[in-house]
Structure 1
Amino acid sequence: MRLRSLFLMATIITALAWPFTASAFEQLHLPAEREPVAPLVIHAALDLPYVRPLLEDFHQRNPQYDITYRNFATLELDERFLAAPDEADLMISSAMPWQYRLANDGYAQAVDTPVTRRWPAEAKWRQELFAFTFEPVIMVVNRAIIKRYGPVDSHADLLDLLRHHGDELRGKVVTYDPVASGAGYTYAIEESRLSPQYWDLIAALGHADAALVNTTGAMMEGLKDGRYLIGYNLLGSYVRQDIDADPDLEWRIPNDYALVIQRLAFVPRQAPHSINAKHFLDYLLSVNGQDILAKEGHLGALHPELDGPGTANALYRLRPEGLRPTPLGPGLLTTLDDLKRRALLSRWQREFSGPQTLFP
């Protein structure tokens, strides 16, 4: 545990020394098939398998668009934008505090169209920042665990399991690293506000030597190949297809409470092709675009008129009391206050590392 403590502290110090070092990104190009060409550059933290159906449907409807889509990790996306605020026409991310801060700092322009005016008030901010998905944060459990220890349907169940069988599950649990992942940090600070037992759960995860990774995809890879038996705080929209195809895994929306993340989109003030971006944003918020998100992108549609599988309305029927969407408002900025960020990450490290710690 001493080595773990040293490693985590070094990681925290590195992570707090902004800016982050950018790495390679995924890219998709859909060339224009009609004149006049309408360029559109989208920078996002949204994996290609989930956004491709949306981009291809929009392109089919609008073949004059020449679309360049680049996918980054959440914190790299933010860093890339600040280094070149005139590069992208549209910004999309699930790291809600970072997106809100960019808009609040004046980097977003207003999008005032009939579509955006009708968008639910709780899912937009100042006609500049728009939530367009509804994605619960879930647990994934190998059926062998359920067979041996019983169901794991809530955070309380997971805590009880780790308290009583943490030694047996050592190295077999995986979750987000809140230091290196913007999404992981967002979940950490939201859960620390929601649950008085959150820190007990972090300590139990540390005792079980839980693996820390940066993406839901990395968690799912380990769960599918059997390296991990329990995944904590995966993004539900990214696991649905994999779980449906894997007889060994089950996913659970925790029945005590479940965070819900909403991806946020904005048109940068310096966007080189802002008219094209606004057209795409209208499509993103339309019934057609939202229906694609729900049925083919598996991202959870927010549109109030949609009510089938993969929609917010359906999820609210499934969990009428327990869903906890992160509010879109000034409270997001408090999560990025340097002192509060340092305090939360330091406590997270102390709880996860156990009694041997670098802190007095």
Structure 2
Amino acid sequence: MTALSRCLRRGLLLLVLAGPAALADETLRYPASPGAGPDAALVIHGALDLPQVRPLLDAFHRDHPDLAIRYHNLTTLALHERFLEAPGEADVLISSAMPWQYRLANDGHAQTLETPEAERWPAWARWRRELFAFTFEPIVMVVNETVIERFGEVRSHADLLGLLERHGEALRGRVVTYDPATSGAGYTYAIEESRLSPRYWELVAALGGAEADLAGTTGEMLEGLIEERYLVGYNLLGSYARDRLADQPQLKIVVPEDYALVTQRLALVPRLAPHPEAARRFLTYLIGERGQTVLARDTTLGAIHPALRGPGTAGSLRRLRGDALRPIGLGPGLLATLDDLKREALLTRWRREFARQERR
């Protein structure tokens, strides 16, 4: 079975598994304090893994013990599909699939947040007062030290391309990246990079030549890297990688020197949220100094709040990396990525370039 056919078969399976009838649903629950009414509740649907979201929810619940909180952890596309099927189910939506979140807000599905925190939030990190970026997360590579020892440092996309072109046979089946057909985040990175780098399609072809595996989540990629099924991971969420690989010295996290995409998790309150007041309290907390301090101190997600300085903040990362950081813009350009014809055109070319080496 060729690399492309393996990936297409796996992609079909992932699409089936991501369907509404078979959602992988991890849940955190926090009980309300005694005497709270039945409507004192908050339901959050998030594409944010439990170790990262738990510190935020712990701190919020300490401040708001009157609320019974239920958090559902979903994949980006599953979260979007679930919302479209049941728009009145969740009070808050959190996702790193920026185009999908923007589309929901643009289509009128988000409430306006009328708070001082919303007014003060940086203009580049919000759309109107309906959609708010609250994290700052570079997209990274992860390289096993054995690759570095044998073939040299990988510091940039150009280095990775050279590595795959020269040593693709040695790395055959040992490289992993997102499948843009089944991952909302992976598709977003693909379309952004195709605009940003004139050599992006060469890199896709080189990944295909090395018979790279395609995954639906950063978590899948990290597990394979830790188990050493993979030696190189491309386009992983840096926040998850730093958290998961803290005790894995053989795996090096690389923020590419030439350019590094930066994604932000976007939060909104649906227009039909069943508990809108609780939802507004939580969203205000997310973008307020209290929640952002927790985010900077207790997670690897990267705080945006302009009053915060030091480790764990966007300001600190900008000082270290400068112009190499390329945040994905929060604006109407995101809608172009969801045009059906453009999406099909990009995925068709992606498959074609990925298979190009197999035809030689």
TM-score range, shorter chain: over 0.9
- Quick one: structure 1 residues 203 and 221, their matched pair in 2 at CA, closer, same or farther if it must change by over 3 Å? same
* Range 7-16 or range 263-272, more displaced: 7-16
* Deviation at residue 292 of structure 1 after TM alignment: 1.1
* Range 242-251 or range 62-71, more displaced: 242-251
| Maintained 8 Å contact 1:20/1:75 | no
Residue identity opposite 1:46 in structure 2: L
- Which residue does 1:80 correspond to in 2? 82
2:132 pairs with 1:130: yes
- Which residue does 1:216 correspond to in 2? 218
Find 1:300's aligned residue among 299, 302, 312: 302
Residue identity opposite 2:106 in structure 1: N
- The within-5 A match list for 1:1-360 is 3-8=2-7, 20-21=19-20, 22-37=22-37, 38-354=40-356
Residue identity opposite 2:28 in structure 1: L
- Quick one: structure 1 residues 243 and 10, their matched pair in 2 at CA, closer, same or farther if it must change by over 3 Å? closer
Unaligned runs of 5+ in 1: none
- Quick one: structure 1 residues 5 and 220, their matched pair in 2 at CA, closer, same or farther if it must change by over 3 Å? closer
RMSD: 1.8
| Maintained 8 Å contact 1:4/1:353 | yes
Cα-to-partner distance string for 1:301-336 (whole Å, 9 max, x where unaligned): 011111111110011011111100011010000000
Partner SS state of residue 317, structure 1:
helix
* Deviation at residue 65 of structure 1 after TM alignment: 1.0
Cα-to-partner distance string for 1:149-172 (whole Å, 9 max, x where unaligned): 111010000001111000011011
Cα-to-partner distance string for 1:20-75 (whole Å, 9 max, x where unaligned): 44423101110012433420000111111100010011001111110000011000
Number of residue pairs aligned between Structure 1 and Structure 2 = 355
Residue identity opposite 1:262 in structure 2: Q
| Maintained 8 Å contact 2:209/2:358 | no
| Maintained 8 Å contact 1:11/1:179 | no
| Maintained 8 Å contact 1:34/1:63 | no
* Deviation at residue 9 of structure 1 after TM alignment: 5.2
| Maintained 8 Å contact 2:41/2:68 | yes
* Deviation at residue 5 of structure 1 after TM alignment: 3.5
| Maintained 8 Å contact 1:152/1:158 | yes
| Maintained 8 Å contact 1:12/1:345 | no
Partner SS state of residue 174, structure 1:
strand
Residue identity opposite 1:131 in structure 2: A
| Maintained 8 Å contact 1:139/1:252 | yes
* Deviation at residue 147 of structure 1 after TM alignment: 1.1
Partner SS state of residue 154, structure 2:
coil
- Quick one: structure 1 residues 4 and 166, their matched pair in 2 at CA, closer, same or farther if it must change by over 3 Å? closer
| Maintained 8 Å contact 2:15/2:182 | no
What is the identity percentage for the equivalent residue pairs of Structure 1 and Structure 2?
Answer: 60
| Maintained 8 Å contact 2:3/2:208 | no
| Maintained 8 Å contact 2:3/2:211 | no
Q: Distance in 1 between matches of 2:15 and 2:249?
A: 41
Partner SS state of residue 188, structure 2:
helix
| Maintained 8 Å contact 2:43/2:91 | yes
Unaligned runs of 5+ in 2: none
* Range 243-252 or range 51-60, more displaced: 243-252
TM score, norm. by length of structure 1: 0.95
